[in-house]
Amino acid sequence: MGRPQERPRARAAHRPPHLSPHPLRPKLFPMLTSPPPQSSRRQFLTTSVAAALATATLPHPVFSGEPIVAPAASSPPPIRNAFAYRFAIGEIEAWSISDANLALKEGLGLMEPAADRPAMQADLMARGERTDVLPLYVNILVAKLGHEIAIFDAGFGAGKNPESGWLKTSLAAIGIAPEKVTHAFLSHAHGDHINGFVTGNQPTFPNAALHCLRDELDFWRSPEPDFSRSLRAKGPLPGMIKSNRAKFDILQPNLQLHRDGDALLGGAVTFVPGRGHTAGHALFRLRSGKESLLHFMDAAHHHTLMFTNPSWAINYDHEPAQAVDTRKKLFAELATTHERSYGFHLPWPGLGRVARADAGYTWQSERWSWGI
Residue 235 has pLDDT above 60, yes or no: yes
Which residue in 85, 92, 84 sits closest to 286, CA to CA? 92
DSSP E strand boundaries for 105-216: 111-112, 134-145, 148-152, 183-185, 198-199, 202-203, 209-213
Percent residues over pLDDT 90 in the chain = 74
Quick: pLDDT tens for 259-293: 999 999 999 999 999 999 999 999 999 999 999 99
Across all residues in the chain, what is the average pLDDT? 84
Residue 55 has pLDDT above 60, yes or no: no
Is residue 209 situated within a structural domain? yes
Quick: pLDDT tens for 158-195: 887 888 999 999 999 999 999 999 999 999 999 999 99
Is residue 58 situated within a structural domain? no
CB 162 within 8 A of CB 37: no
pLDDT (mean) for 134-160: 95
Residue 344 has pLDDT above 50, yes or no: yes
pLDDT (mean) for 226-240: 97
**Of 19-23, 81-85, 205-209, which range is least confident?**
19-23
Is residue 121 situated within a structural domain? yes
Residue 74 has pLDDT above 90, yes or no: no
Which residue in 134, 135, 125 sits closest to 106, CA to CA? 134
Rounded to 5°, the CA angle 116-335-143 comes to 105
Q: Given this model, what pLDDT does residue 106 score?
A: 97
Q: Categorize the per-residue pLDDT at 225 as very low, low, confident or very high, splitting at 50, 70 and 90.
A: very high
Measured distance CA(366)–CA(369) in Å, rounded: 9
Q: Categorize the per-residue pLDDT at 76 as very low, low, confident or very high, splitting at 50, 70 and 90.
A: low
Q: Given this model, what pLDDT does residue 26 score?
A: 46
| DSSP conformation class of 95 | E
Quick: pLDDT tens for 285-334: 999 999 999 999 999 999 999 999 999 999 999 999 999 999 999 999 99
The CATH number of residue 282's host domain is 3.60.15.10
Residue 144 has pLDDT above 80, yes or no: yes
Is residue 27 situated within a structural domain? no
Q: What is the pTM of this model?
A: 0.80
| 3-class DSSP assignment, residue 99 | strand
Percent residues over pLDDT 70 in the chain = 78
DSSP E strand boundaries for 146-185: 148-152, 183-185
Q: How many domains does the chain have?
A: 1
**Size (the chain), residues:** 372
Is residue 372 situated within a structural domain? no
CB 316 within 8 A of CB 309: no
pLDDT (mean) for 38-53: 40
Measured distance CA(340)–CA(365) in Å, rounded: 10
CB 139 within 8 A of CB 98: yes
The region, left, alpha or beta by phi > 0 then psi within -120 to 50, assigned to residue 361 is beta
Parallel/antiparallel/unpaired status of strands 341-342 and 291-295: parallel
Is residue 309 situated within a structural domain? yes
**Of 115-124, 141-150, 160-169, 348-357, which range is least confident?**
160-169
Is residue 371 situated within a structural domain? no
Measured distance CA(160)–CA(173) in Å, rounded: 21
The HSE-up count of residue 144 (CA atoms within 13 Å, CB side) is 20
What residue numbers bound the domain in which 165 lies? Answer: 83-365
Is residue 78 situated within a structural domain? no
CA dihedral 248, 253, 254, 260 (to 10 degrees): 70
